[in-house]
């Protein structure tokens, strides 16, 4: 059994600490937010993540997992300390390491034994060197510290499964003792280990996220072409993605990427590349395409409704992806902002993220508890997050409830014909059947337009 401390109880820190305790280790999770710690001690978690609460409760009950609001008490017996605090995007697009610096200082002044320090947060290249320097400068005792980079590859909504069954585990270290400790810690997972130096491990994380974001922006550009030439991007993905070199993962057209990772990590890599004298030409375009998807979606709705002022739009989905309540950089919320700016009123639903969205929008948006209520007496419905319950909507009921007849399938989860036979006008993303040309006129392939029998009021 290892004695572990994890500083930070956000998505990464709480999942990491809980899963390490599930593997049989003694884990102390630490956060300076006393309210979060009290929430966890009372048997609740501060965010939605499937399967996590059960693990927290089980390991609390077993005595392997506890929570501290003080770094000194939390790390007192730790052999290994994980840093898992937030690294938000600064105004200039670079990564804000303020929390990492603060934690490194707090750890340094409290250390009383030789310790392995693990950077679990997503951080720029050279952060391992920074943490080591801060600890050397501020430590009170003559202790030795080994800094390791161990980036996370967990997806919100499936974070527990991703931790317990990883594709790979990356360990960046300069000392063989630290490497062997990490090997032993992760041995129960029986996963491939990639051992590198610290800077390479830090670069691996940014490379992975930037590439996945690039795939999303790439297929959204292809979708824009499909709309103009009458092709269906879903079939394009099936055909091109069947090539093993390409694949279909992260290759779905829609509103673009969001969340706490892709936007800030791509921006950070743009900043890193510029700072080191190798400015990126590709990554700024990835971000630009992603932003354009929102304005394109708003324009489509505006054109279909003959203008947004006075219209009511029902938005299904507020979280940036299914199975989470995380609304950070959510394309859905950006879409809502665009609709409101255009003069529309918005009524919105999400299975778990309404509370977070209400804190952002206040009374500017009407929030409802049932997805069909979001369609009642509206001019258009937009499916912005592909929750499973939205995939099973009854279009007959939807048509009866709606004042208008426009359904924007912003995640391409429906068969356009199924909507047409129920008298609904279908707007997809790159389906080549929406009749949308981006300039307010029908596409040259009007014969394939799925419009239904109704017209917008």
pLDDT tens track for 343-380: 999 999 999 999 999 999 999 999 999 999 999 999 99
What is d(CA 280, CA 276) in angstroms, rounded to the nearest whole number? Answer: 11
Looking at residue 440, what DSSP letter applies?
Answer: S
Of the candidates 336, 352, 348, 335, the residue with the CA atom closest to the CA atom of residue 376 = 348
Residue 239: band (very low, low, confident or very high) from pLDDT cuts 50, 70, 90:
very high
Q: Which helix (H) or strand (E) holds 172?
A: strand 169-172
- What pLDDT, on a 0 to 100 scale, did the predictor assign at position 438? 44
Summarised one tens digit per residue, pLDDT across range 301-344 is 999 999 999 999 999 999 999 999 999 999 999 999 999 999 99
What is d(CA 179, CA 196) in angstroms, rounded to the nearest whole number? Answer: 10
Mean pLDDT of the chain: 92
Regarding the domain delimited by 285-448, which CATH topology (the fold level of the hierarchy) does it fall under?
A: Rossmann fold (3.40.50)
What is d(CA 373, CA 362) in angstroms, rounded to the nearest whole number? Answer: 19
Where in the sequence numbering do the catalytic residues fall?
A: 261
CA 324 to chain centre: 9
Domain 3-196 grouped into CATH 3.40.50.720: yes
A 10 A CB-CB count for 14 gives: 27
- What pLDDT, on a 0 to 100 scale, did the predictor assign at position 93? 87
Residue 433: band (very low, low, confident or very high) from pLDDT cuts 50, 70, 90:
low
Residues 6+ away with beta carbon under 8 Å from 292 = none
Q: Tokens at residue 353, please?
A: 């993220």
Burial per residue of 244-280, b for 16 or more beta-carbon CB atoms within 10 angstroms, e otherwise: eeeeeeebbbbbbbbbbbbbbbbbbbbbbbeeeeeeb
Per DSSP, what are the bridge partners of residue 145?
A: 115
> Does the pLDDT value for residue 409 go beyond 80?
yes
Q: Give residue limits of the domains in the chain.
A: 3-196, 285-448
Q: CA geometry: angle at 442 spanning 436 and 444, to 5°? A: 100
Residue 141: band (very low, low, confident or very high) from pLDDT cuts 50, 70, 90:
confident
- What pLDDT, on a 0 to 100 scale, did the predictor assign at position 445? 38
pTM: 0.88
Residue identified by tokens 């700024």 is 284
Residue 89: band (very low, low, confident or very high) from pLDDT cuts 50, 70, 90:
confident
Of the candidates 21, 24, 60, 25, the residue with the CA atom closest to the CA atom of residue 39 = 60
> Do 3-196 and 285-448 come out as alike in CATH topology?
yes
> Residue 373 class from Cβ within 10 Å (0-12 exposed, 13-18 middle, 19+ buried)?
middle
The full DSSP string for 92-123 is: TSSB--HHHHHHHHHHHHH--S-EEEEE-S--
Looking at residue 88, what DSSP letter applies?
Answer: P
């Amino acid at each position: 059994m290892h004695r572990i401390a994890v500083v930070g109880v956000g998505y990464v820190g709480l999942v990491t600490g809980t899963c390490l305790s599930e593997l049989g280790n003694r884990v102390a999770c630490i956060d300076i937010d006393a309210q979060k710690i009290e929430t966890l001690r009372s048997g609740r978690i501060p965010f939605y993540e499937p399967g996590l609460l059960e693990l927290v409760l089980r390991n609390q009950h077993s005595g392997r997992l506890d929570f501290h609001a003080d770094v000194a008490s939390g790390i007192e017996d730790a052999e290994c300390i994980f840093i898992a605090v937030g690294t938000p995007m600064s105004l200039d697009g670079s990564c804000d390491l303020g929390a990492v610096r603060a934690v490194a200082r707090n750890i340094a002044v409290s250390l009383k034994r030789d310790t392995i320090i693990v950077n679990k947060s997503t951080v720029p290249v050279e952060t391992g060197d920074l943490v080591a320097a801060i600890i050397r400068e501020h430590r009170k005792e003559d202790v030795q510290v080994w800094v390791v980079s161990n980036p996370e590859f967990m997806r919100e909504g499936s974070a527990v499964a991703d931790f317990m069954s990883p594709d790979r585990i990356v360990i960046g270290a300069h000392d063989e003792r630290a490497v062997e400790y990490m090997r032993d810690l992760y041995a129960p997972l029986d996963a491939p280990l990639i051992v590198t130096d610290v800077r390479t491990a830090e670069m691996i994380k940014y490379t992975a996220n930037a590439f996945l974001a690039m795939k999303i922006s790439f297929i959204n550009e292809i979708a824009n072409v499909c709309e103009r030439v009458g092709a269906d991007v879903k079939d394009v993905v099936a055909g091109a993605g069947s090539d093993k070199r390409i694949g279909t993962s992260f290759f779905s057209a829609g509103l673009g990427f969001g969340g706490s990772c892709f936007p800030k990590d791509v921006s950070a890599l743009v900043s890193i590349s510029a700072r080191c004298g190798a400015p990126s030409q590709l990554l700024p375009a990835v971000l630009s395409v992603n932003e354009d998807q929102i304005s394109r979606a708003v324009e489509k709705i505006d054109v279909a409704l003959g203008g947004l002022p006075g219209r009511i739009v029902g938005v299904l989905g507020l979280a940036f992806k299914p199975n989470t309540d995380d609304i950070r950089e959510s394309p859905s919320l950006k879409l809502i902002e665009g609709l409101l700016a255009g003069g529309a009123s918005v009524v919105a639903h999400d299975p778990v993220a309404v509370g977070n969205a209400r804190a952002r929008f206040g009374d500017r948006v009407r929030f409802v508890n049932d997805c069909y209520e979001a369609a009642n007496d509206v001019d258009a419905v937009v499916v912005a997050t592909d929750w499973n319950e939205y995939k099973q909507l009854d279009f007959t009921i939807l048509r009866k409830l709606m004042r208008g007849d426009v359904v924007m399938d912003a995640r391409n989860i429906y068969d356009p014909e199924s909507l047409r036979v129920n008298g609904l006008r279908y707007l997809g993303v790159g389906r080549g059947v929406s009749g949308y040309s981006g300039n307010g006129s029908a596409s040259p392939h009007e014969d394939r337009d799925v419009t239904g029998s109704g017209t917008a009021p």
